[in-house]
């Protein structure tokens, strides 16, 4: 699979570029029974920006599981389910983009608080390039379980 290229076509895209480049969301029937979804259910395939915006709406000190996030996104978009695979990809994009911005000196209050959805044990957290310590610190700062 080729590495996405930056807008200039030189070098790989940053996570922030991937977030901004995200496709439109879609609502469509699930084609086959997979990942806990049944064929024919109405499924939201969210965009990364849509996942980012929803996470930004979670209040400080509140946490939401990935499953609850998917259920809320589905309900908000007149769907029965949200694609777990796409959501997982986008959660990583949102987290990596937020961390890139953190490294650029963007104030914490302006970052997407992905740690309100991803805890240290989440499968997506284990894939993050920066590990789980940042997630642990942010969750602790908000009084959330690690």
Task: Give the predicted TM-score (pTM) of the model.
Answer: 0.90
Q: Burial level of 57, CB count in 10 A (0-12/13-18/19+)?
A: exposed
Residue 47 has pLDDT above 90, yes or no: yes
Confidence of residue 3 (pLDDT cuts 50, 70, 90): very low
Average pLDDT over residues 19-25: 92
Average pLDDT over residues 35-64: 97
> Domain residues of the chain, as ranges?
24-141
CA dihedral (54, 14, 124, 21) in degrees, to 10, reads 40
Task: Give the model's pLDDT for residue 2.
Answer: 44
DSSP letters spanning 20-48: HTPPPPEEEE-SS-BTTB-TT-EEEE--H
């Amino acid at each position: 699979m080729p590495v996405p290229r930056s807008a200039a076509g030189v070098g790989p895209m940053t996570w922030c570029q991937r977030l901004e480049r995200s496709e439109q969301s879609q609502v469509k029937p699930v084609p086959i029974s997979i990942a806990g979804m049944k064929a024919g259910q109405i499924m939201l395939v969210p965009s990364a920006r849509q996942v980012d915006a929803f996470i930004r709406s979670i209040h400080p000190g509140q946490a939401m599981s990935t499953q609850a996030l998917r259920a809320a996104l589905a309900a908000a978009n007149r769907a029965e389910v949200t694609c777990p695979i796409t959501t997982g990809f986008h959660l990583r994009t949102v987290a990596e983009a937020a961390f890139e911005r953190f490294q650029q000196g963007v104030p914490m209050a302006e970052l997407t608080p992905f740690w309100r959805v991803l805890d240290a044990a989440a499968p997506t957290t284990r894939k993050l390039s920066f590990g789980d310590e940042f997630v642990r610190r942010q969750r602790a700062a908000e009084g959330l379980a690690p």
